[in-house]
Amino acid sequence: MQLESLVKKFKAKDVKAFEKLYDLYNESVQGVVFNIVREQSIAEEVTQDVFIKAWNNAESYSEKKGRFFTWIINIARNAAIDKVRSKNFKNNAKNLDAEFFVDILENHDSLDIKTDAIGIKNFVNKLKETCIKVIELLYFKGFTQKEVSESLDIPLGTVKTRNRNCINELRIMLK
């Protein structure tokens, strides 16, 4: 079946067309979502939501504005960003311990072979305790600078300065 006619049938709410388009684009959509949310189960959930949203809003797709693939990928990207920005997602991310992320890096489970992640924990551990706290909250737990300020009970400007200085220390160590 030609893609054009498949999309027309999809817009006319043909279930078979939906199934074929799902088969065609499921992996691509899920890949885009996963690159943003970084968790397989959430990526699968958001992917399902994307296809339901596309089905419910099929009439809004216009061939004149672009390809169907581009349209559904944009829906996927926006849905993934919305998920990451959601309060529930942020709260779940805050509950993860920094050790979880260090283990991922040390095991190379989520990095390609060319990425040298060995020793990152050692570099971070060489920093002052104040730096370790700020980096852990900002980069491993996903806190905003304001949230770090409230959590550590220090002024926001101090958080920003420590963050900048600590990152510079890491850069110097890595050179």
Phi-psi category of residue 108: left, alpha or beta, with phi > 0 → left and psi -120 to 50 → alpha: left
Closest CA to 106 of 95, 96, 121: 121
Rounded CA-CA distance 2/5 in Å is: 6
Mean pLDDT, to the nearest integer, of 146-152? 91
Mean pLDDT, to the nearest integer, of 140-161? 88
What is the structure's pLDDT at 106?
Answer: 45
* pLDDT reading at 104 higher than 50: no
Strand (E) or helix (H) holding 154:
none
Mean pLDDT, to the nearest integer, of 136-140? 76
What is the structure's pLDDT at 47?
Answer: 96
Task: Count CA within 13 A, CB hemisphere, residue 160.
Answer: 4
pTM > 0.85: no
What does the radius of gyration of the chain's CA atoms come to, in whole angstroms? 21
What is the structure's pLDDT at 1?
Answer: 56
- Helices 3-11 + 15-37 axis angle, to 10: 100
* Residue 32 vs residues 14, 21, 46, 55, 108: alpha-carbon distances, Å: 26, 16, 10, 19, 21
Contact 144, 97 (CB under 8 A): no
Closest CA to 33 of 18, 20, 16, 45: 45
